[in-house]
Amino acid sequence: MEPRHLQISQQEHEALALAGPVEKARKEQPFDPQRGLRHSQEDLRTIRKIHGEVASATTASLSARLKTRVNFELDADAIAITFSALKEAMTASGTSCINVLDVAPFGKGLLTLDLPTCFRFIDRCLGGSGRAAVPERTFFTDVEMITLDEVVGLILSGFQRSWSKVLPDFAPKYLQREMDPYVLSLPWTPTERILSSTFNIVSDIVTGEMKICLPYAPVASHLPKPGSAVFSQTSGNTSVPTLEKRLQKVPLDVRAILGRTEIPVRDLLRLKVGDLVRLDNAVGDPIYLQVEGQTKFSARLGLVGKKCGLKIEKQIREIEE
């Protein structure tokens, strides 16, 4: 059977020629969760100014509490991402301490700290060097929770002072603490825009990261207009000389250890006025000077006028744990 050929009239040829080339099918684009998120660059710059002051205030307060310089540096500009993308980013970065906040009139907010930073701050607050090995666990003891509450309170104090220039009645409050971002109970939809500001923590005891996350829409509605007098005052990051002057006024506990010995409890209970306790060290042995519980110098005992004094002879390098 011979194949049949399709017959096209002259009019049909002319119609096809006038129609032009056939359009190619459009290539499908993968779904982007950031598509459709529109935010003002002016808003992000204003957030950066406010959170730059948060970094300065937190640097001053935590350095004074920990008695060592802890510098908070605001990273890049604040970014606006969806809540679902934020949870994925927090999960990918590893376990963090997530503090849920009440940040009226914005609603709820988040303050996150990575676990090593939390444990180092806790150790320092409890009298340690802050360089102890980080525990391999993702929970805090009762004492650690109380100490961490104090650290978070200092951060929130700087947070409050910085935002009070925009909102005089701004008073953030800590609500609860979580370790898993997927169990957070927040009134945010997966596609809601969230402002995320990252702070790099740099000190001689730890290098870590802190984030402050706020809902974009209510924050943007309360931001001052560009050129507002809110930021006309001298502000910004605290200079290094100013911070050093503040740290020089922080009181420190300094103790001279004259000697040590060990005795049984029964002998301790029998001690009375006039008894002599023999120390393990000799008269000519050096005396150790401790600063905040850490041995820093060896010295010799002597007289300064009519008062007892110490002559520092050697600095002792602390062995990092």
Same fold, 41-248 and 254-315: no
Parallel, antiparallel, or unpaired for β 207-215 and 193-203?
antiparallel
Q: How far is CA 297 from CA 85, 205, 289, in A?
A: 51, 20, 5
Query: Order of strands across the sheet with 254-257?
Result: 254-257, 287-291, 294-304, 307-315
Least Cα distance to 188 among 43, 80, 40, 76 occurs for 80
Q: Could you tell me the pLDDT band of residue 288, with boundaries at 50, 70 and 90? A: confident
Is the model's pLDDT at 82 over the cut of 80? yes
Domain 254-315 falls under CATH 2.30.330.10:
yes
Q: What is the pLDDT of residues 291-304, one digit of tens each?
A: 877 888 888 888 88
Backbone angle region of 52, left / alpha / beta, with phi > 0 → left and psi within -120 to 50 → alpha: alpha
* CA 134 and chain centroid, separation: 17
> What are the domain boundaries of the chain?
41-248, 254-315
* pLDDT 10s digits, 97-147: 999 999 999 999 999 999 999 999 999 999 888 888 889 888 999 999 999
Amino acid, res. 235 = S
Assigned token pair, 300 = 């010799």
In CATH terms, 41-248 corresponds, of 1.10.10.10, 3.40.1550.10, 1.10.620.20, 3.30.230.10, to: 3.40.1550.10
